[in-house]
């Protein structure tokens, strides 16, 4: 061991002795201000480099260091390290100049920052809360020389940035190491460090950030730290012996003890890259066997165990406790190295972070040479490349990160990378396929412009179905390609934005914004619910009927957004667990009501006005507001009755105490108040507008009435432009232009008729053809938005219908109405997505009940086309 060989023959052992026992200064330290620094704001150290190149941060000026076998002397002004009769030249490293500089707030930078080789240590907090109370501080810690309140103040983050920038002017650094003492709360102050780490990340580039912290009870904050840019997470087990831990770390024991540390480390290993989760163990406060057992526990969890020798600091309860021997520390370090070698946990990120020796340095203790791979990993540029890869990995895993949901992709990195790359690969394949298709000759019977119109249509169809691009962006792509490929002129394409149906839906969205702004929708909903909430079954039916009624006057997604918070409160007040039958029924009721009711009029969604616009552009014929409503009426009523039966069957004879619900709704009514002048004015305006639409007839008048109503709404100061921006779905407006342009290109070039003749058997006529069109529409509307389904199906359905001898207007009504009946999948329509996101509805349950409603809509529409539509003058000529 240390006494059996020369004091300087093994550089690893020399460094081990220096950093664990320090060095004495029998002659003092000339020009001490050039050399002395502080670690953690409390412990005095000097930085030196041994002749072999090892960097050491060596404690000095403590009672235990004066007993060290090593001393520092000066010969002719040159520092020499002495051990008995042996002498070795060393190099002392001057403290950085930034130590003496001051921050923007007047603080001396060296009071909360220290630089050791390539490691910059920062103290973002001005103390540790454990020292604010009696008997909570760790017995070996001297942190109380700082400001230690129950809630220690956080330094100005810009001061930390100032230090980093000053350091980078002087030296090269690899790692910024932050300490987090105790602060109140389940997050132990970590949430306040999230923006600090994010700020530092913007200035540090490929340099890594490490954080040493007390274990938080809220382990979710670890996800936020990772998202902000943290590279290395350190949470110290300190001691493996539970009894010793509870005695020497009373504050940490009170916060959950070792189990809290283990829970935090286990969570971190699921978030950070392998080798980036670290835990320190203190050698010398428990038997060696216990320390080794602790390392095995950490390694089994995938955590890198780091070792530090106990140091008896003045003014601590353990100031008289003996230092661990060199042999004890060496034994633990060799065990550490063997454990890490056997498990292949990488340690290259920890260069310079060891309080004694890093795992890579521990190898030299047995006389072995440092492995080539380890030498390679010590190069700064290699470590930075690893940090760059860590940033890339973080970007992949945090693609869908939500600061509230802490939505980290925890799949294997290869899987997450493939998932991320798939859309780019798919778009590249689509682009190449489009280029190849454009270079091919048009099929027989089809013009060149018709062939290119089909190429644009198929490209947009794939993008709409896969949603590789947002629906509106896909439409803009279609509008851009049509003139570029010579299908339609740019003037013709962009003029289609002037279609009256576009301005009708724009006006309808604006009126919806006015209804929401006035509070009319909320007041109406609460008034009806107050009359039904005393009976659970009546309330359930109200949650179906109210959204259905309101979706006749405003888009279904707005209705769902209005009722979703009410549903969440209802199930919370009733104390219902997730997947409780009544809880599921409440959410299904609001979604089904909005979906079914939205089909009743042209106001329930974008599909109706889009069908109106495409019918007008492709055939020159349109239908009226009233014709749509009459055509959909029997199907909507029958679907609502079936939905009500399913809901009542779903809940059975459940008995619930509705008193709390009644009180909750009454409280909301008191908060909302009675209908004021704004609400009454908005109600009158909406009623007049809807009556005008019913009477006026076709598309041009629908748009004019909508825009006049919007002008009146602004003239009466019922709404302002900020409300319009919040509630108008501009993406739908953009989608309209593209969808109409693509449909127009298929019609004008003859491509639609060519597709109809090529895809549909000539002998498929009458009800069989109608059934096929309905099934195709239902299939598409489950896999994409309702409006996108209309945009895809209708340009082909109209020429198919004309070819079969159908009136094109009923065909447009058929596709537009059926596109609204999307019940089976969460992505098929906004109401389904909203209730699925609540967590109270499973995809399997939605599919099971949705299939019943979808099949029934198919049967009901077939019956309506056969018997009802001829009665209202909408016959398709089917015998």
> What is d(CA 581, CA 567) in angstroms, rounded to the nearest whole number?
14
Asked whether 90 and 51 are in contact (CB, 8 A), the reply is yes
Task: Report the SS3 class of residue 825.
Answer: coil
Report CA torsion sign: 199, 205, 210, 216.
Answer: positive
Task: Report the SS3 class of residue 636.
Answer: helix
Of 557, 516, 515, the residue nearest 786 (C-alpha)? 557
pLDDT value at residue 367 = 55
| Residue partners of 93: CB distance under 8 A and separation at least 6 | 35, 46, 47, 48, 49, 117
> What is d(CA 496, CA 450) in angstroms, rounded to the nearest whole number?
19
> What is d(CA 660, CA 665) in angstroms, rounded to the nearest whole number?
9
Asked whether 233 and 276 are in contact (CB, 8 A), the reply is yes
Residue 879 pLDDT greater than 50, yes or no = no
pLDDT value at residue 371 = 41
Report residue 735: phi and psi, to 5°.
-65, -35
* Alpha carbon distances (Å) from 421 to 260, 392, 394: 37, 13, 15
pLDDT band at 125 (very low <50, low <70, confident <90, very high): confident
> Parallel, antiparallel, or unpaired for β 175-180 and 119-122?
parallel
pLDDT tens column, 667-676: 777 777 777 8
Structure tokens, 576: 């219902």
Residue 846 pLDDT greater than 80, yes or no = yes
Mean pLDDT to the nearest integer, 288-303: 94
Q: How many residues does the chain have?
A: 879
What rounded mean pLDDT belongs to the chain?
A: 85
Mean pLDDT to the nearest integer, 389-413: 67
> What is d(CA 492, CA 379) in angstroms, rounded to the nearest whole number?
62
pLDDT value at residue 593 = 94
Least confident of 51-55, 185-189, 280-284: 51-55
pLDDT value at residue 177 = 94
* Alpha carbon distances (Å) from 825 to 600, 778, 780, 821: 21, 12, 12, 11
Element of type H or E holding 631:
helix 625-651
Least confident of 388-392, 402-406, 452-456, 541-545: 402-406
Query: 81-95, 531-545, 627-641, 693-707 — which one is most confidently predicted on average?
Result: 627-641
Prediction pTM value:
0.67
More confident residue, 127 or 584: 584
* Alpha carbon distances (Å) from 106 to 146, 159, 491, 872: 17, 10, 64, 83
Least confident of 375-389, 440-454, 617-631, 829-843: 375-389
More confident residue, 418 or 304: 304
pLDDT band at 869 (very low <50, low <70, confident <90, very high): very high
pLDDT value at residue 416 = 77
pLDDT value at residue 877 = 62
> What is d(CA 706, CA 550) in angstroms, rounded to the nearest whole number?
18
pLDDT value at residue 536 = 83
pLDDT band at 143 (very low <50, low <70, confident <90, very high): low
> What is d(CA 107, CA 122) in angstroms, rounded to the nearest whole number?
13
> Parallel, antiparallel, or unpaired for β 119-122 and 113-116?
antiparallel
Of 413, 731, 666, 635, the residue nearest 531 (C-alpha)? 666
Structure tokens, 592: 């089904």
Residue 373 pLDDT greater than 50, yes or no = no
Asked whether 475 and 589 are in contact (CB, 8 A), the reply is no
Mean pLDDT to the nearest integer, 118-143: 81
Asked whether 147 and 176 are in contact (CB, 8 A), the reply is no
pLDDT tens column, 27-62: 888 877 777 776 655 678 899 988 888 888 899 988
pLDDT value at residue 827 = 73
pLDDT value at residue 699 = 54
* Alpha carbon distances (Å) from 225 to 195, 231, 272, 381, 401: 9, 9, 10, 25, 12
DSSP class of 577: P
pLDDT value at residue 472 = 84
Report residue 778: phi and psi, to 5°.
-60, -40
Element of type H or E holding 119:
strand 119-122
More confident residue, 443 or 502: 443
Of 150, 410, 384, the residue nearest 271 (C-alpha)? 410
Least confident of 137-151, 603-617, 718-732: 137-151
Query: 358-372, 588-602, 642-656 — which one is most confidently predicted on average?
Result: 588-602
More confident residue, 547 or 531: 547
321 Rama class: left (phi>0) / alpha (psi -120 to 50) / beta: beta
pLDDT value at residue 592 = 95
> What is d(CA 482, CA 434) in angstroms, rounded to the nearest whole number?
13
pLDDT band at 289 (very low <50, low <70, confident <90, very high): very high
pLDDT value at residue 856 = 96
Integer Rg of the chain from CA:
36
Residue 404 pLDDT greater than 50, yes or no = no
Mean pLDDT to the nearest integer, 443-460: 91
Distance of CA 78 to the CA centre of its chain: 57
pLDDT value at residue 354 = 65
Residue in this structure with the two tokens 């009769």, named with its chain if needed: 85
User: What residues does 175 pair with on adjacent strands?
Assistant: 119, 208
Report residue 211: phi and psi, to 5°.
-135, 125
pLDDT value at residue 1 = 41
Of 247, 395, 328, 853, the residue nearest 599 (C-alpha)? 853
- What b/e sequence results for 460-491 when a residue is b if at least 16 CB atoms lie within 10 Å of its CB, and e otherwise? bbbbbeeebbebbebbbbbbbbbbebebbeee
> Parallel, antiparallel, or unpaired for β 86-89 and 78-83?
antiparallel
pLDDT tens column, 817-841: 999 998 988 877 888 888 887 788 8
Report CA torsion sign: 485, 489, 492, 495.
Answer: positive
Mean pLDDT to the nearest integer, 89-116: 91
Asked whether 837 and 742 are in contact (CB, 8 A), the reply is no
Residue 514 pLDDT greater than 60, yes or no = yes
Residue 420 pLDDT greater than 90, yes or no = no
Least confident of 326-340, 439-453, 733-747: 733-747
pLDDT value at residue 199 = 94
Asked whether 571 and 586 are in contact (CB, 8 A), the reply is yes
Task: Report the SS3 class of residue 180.
Answer: strand
pLDDT tens column, 752-781: 888 877 877 666 678 888 998 999 888 888
pLDDT value at residue 159 = 94
Residue 378 pLDDT greater than 60, yes or no = no
Task: Report the SS3 class of residue 29.
Answer: coil
Asked whether 214 and 235 are in contact (CB, 8 A), the reply is yes
Structure tokens, 769: 């053809």
Asked whether 115 and 175 are in contact (CB, 8 A), the reply is no
Residue 705 pLDDT greater than 60, yes or no = yes
Residue 521 pLDDT greater than 80, yes or no = no
More confident residue, 362 or 332: 332
Asked whether 434 and 474 are in contact (CB, 8 A), the reply is no
Q: How many CB atoms lie within 10 A of CB 580?
A: 17
> What is d(CA 317, CA 806) in angstroms, rounded to the nearest whole number?
94
Q: Which domains does the chain have, with CATH numbers?
A: 2-93 (no CATH), 98-397 (3.20.20.70), 495-871 (no CATH)
Asked whether 823 and 592 are in contact (CB, 8 A), the reply is yes
DSSP assignment of 47-92 equals EEE-TTS-EEEEE-SSTTGGG-S-EEEEETTEEEEEETTEEEE-EE
pLDDT value at residue 374 = 44
> What is d(CA 615, CA 602) in angstroms, rounded to the nearest whole number?
14
């Amino acid at each position: 061991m240390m006494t059996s060989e020369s004091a300087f023959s093994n550089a690893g052992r020399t460094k081990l002795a220096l950093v664990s026992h320090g060095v004495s200064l029998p002659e003092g330290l000339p020009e001490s201000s050039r050399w002395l620094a502080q670690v953690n704001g409390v412990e005095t150290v000097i930085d030196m480099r041994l002749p072999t190149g090892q960097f050491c941060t060596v404690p000095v000026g403590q009672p235990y260091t004066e007993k060290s076998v090593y001393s520092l002397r000066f010969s002719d002004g040159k520092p020499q390290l002495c051990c008995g009769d042996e002498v070795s030249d060393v190099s002392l490293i001057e403290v950085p100049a930034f130590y003496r500089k001051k921050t923007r707030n007047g603080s001396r930078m060296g009071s909360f920052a220290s630089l050791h080789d390539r490691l910059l240590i920062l103290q973002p907090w001005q103390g540790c809360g454990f020292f604010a109370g009696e008997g909570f501080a760790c017995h070996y810690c001297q942190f109380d020389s700082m400001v230690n309140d129950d809630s220690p103040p956080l330094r100005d983050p810009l001061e930390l940035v100032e230090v980093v920038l000053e350091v980078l002017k002087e030296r090269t650094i690899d790692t910024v190491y932050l300490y987090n003492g105790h602060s109140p709360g389940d997050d132990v102050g970590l949430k306040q460090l999230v923006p600090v780490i994010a700020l530092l990340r913007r200035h540090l580039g490929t340099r890594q950030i490490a954080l040493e912290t007390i274990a938080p009870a809220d382990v979710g904050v670890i996800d936020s730290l990772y998202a902000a840019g943290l590279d290395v997470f350190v949470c110290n087990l300190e001691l493996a012996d539970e009894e010793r831990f509870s005695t020497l770390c009373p504050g940490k024991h009170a916060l959950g003890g070792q189990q809290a540390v283990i829970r935090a480390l286990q969570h971190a290993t699921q978030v950070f890259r392998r080798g980036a989760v670290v835990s320190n163990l203190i050698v010398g406060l428990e038997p060696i066997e216990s320390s080794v057992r602790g390392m095995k526990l950490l390694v089994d969890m995938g955590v890198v165990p780091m070792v530090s020798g106990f140091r008896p600091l003045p003014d601590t309860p353990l100031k008289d406790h003996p230092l661990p021997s060199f042999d004890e520390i060496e034994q633990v370090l060799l065990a550490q190295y063997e454990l890490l070698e056997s498990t292949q946990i990488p340690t290259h990120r920890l260069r310079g972070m060891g309080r004694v020796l890093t795992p890579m340095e521990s190898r030299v203790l047995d006389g072995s040479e440092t492995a080539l791979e380890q030498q390679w990993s010590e190069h700064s540029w290699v470590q930075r490349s690893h940090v760059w890869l860590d940033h890339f990995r973080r970007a992949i895993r945090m693609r869908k990160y939500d600061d509230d949901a802490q939505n980290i992709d925890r799949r294997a990195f290869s899987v997450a990378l493939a998932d991320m790359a798939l859309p780019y690969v798919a778009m590249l394949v689509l682009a190449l396929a489009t280029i190849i298709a454009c270079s091919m000759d048009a099929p027989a019977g089809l013009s060149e412009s018709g062939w290119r119109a089909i190429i644009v249509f198929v490209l947009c169809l794939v993008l709409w179905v896969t949603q590789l691009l947002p629906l509106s962006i896909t439409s803009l792509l279609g509008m851009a390609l049509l003139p570029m490929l010579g299908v339609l002129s740019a003037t013709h394409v962009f003029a289609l934005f002037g279609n009256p149906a576009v301005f009708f839906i724009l006006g309808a969205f604006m009126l919806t914004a006015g209804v929401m702004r006035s509070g009319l929708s909320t007041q109406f909903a609460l008034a009806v619910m107050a009359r039904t909430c005393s009976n659970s079954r009546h309330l359930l039916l109200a949650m179906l009927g109210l959204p259905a009624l309101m979706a006749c006057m405003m888009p279904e997604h707005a209705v769902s957004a209005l009722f979703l918070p009410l549903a969440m409160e209802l199930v919370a007040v009733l104390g219902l667990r997730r997947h409780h039958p009544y809880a599921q029924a409440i959410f299904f009721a609001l979604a089904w009501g909005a979906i079914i009711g939205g089909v009743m009029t042209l106001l329930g969604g974008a599909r109706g006005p889009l069908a109106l616009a495409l019918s007008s552009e492709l055939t020159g014929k349109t239908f009226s507001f009233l014709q749509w409503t009459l055509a959909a009426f029997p199907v909507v009523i029958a679907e609502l009755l079936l939905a009500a039966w399913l809901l009542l069957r779903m809940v059975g004879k459940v008995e619930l105490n509705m008193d709390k619900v009644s009180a909750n709704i009454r409280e909301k009514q008191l908060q909302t108040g009675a209908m004021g002048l704004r609400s009454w004015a908005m109600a009158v305006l909406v009623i007049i507008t809807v009556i005008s639409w019913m009477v006026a007839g076709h598309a041009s008048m629908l748009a004019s009435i909508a825009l006049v109503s919007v002008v009146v709404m602004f003239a009466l100061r019922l709404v302002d432009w900020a409300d319009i921006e919040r509630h108008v779905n501009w993406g739908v407006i953009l989608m309209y232009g593209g969808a109409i342009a693509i449909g127009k290109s298929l019609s004008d070039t003859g491509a639609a008729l060519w597709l109809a003749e090529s895809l549909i058997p000539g002998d498929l006529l009458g009800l069989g053809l109608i059934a096929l069109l309905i099934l195709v529409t239902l299939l598409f509307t489950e896999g994409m938005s309702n409006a996108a389904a209309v945009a895809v199906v209708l340009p082909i359905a109209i020429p198919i219908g004309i070819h079969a001898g159908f009136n094109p207007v009923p065909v447009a009504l058929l596709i537009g109405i059926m596109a609204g009946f999307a019940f089976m999948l969460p992505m098929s329509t906004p109401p389904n997505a909203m209730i699925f996101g609540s967590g109270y509805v499973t995809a399997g349950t939605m599919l099971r009940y949705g299939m019943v409603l979808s099949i029934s809509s198919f049967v009901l529409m077939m019956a309506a086309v056969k018997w009802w539509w001829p009665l209202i003058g909408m016959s398709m000529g089917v015998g």
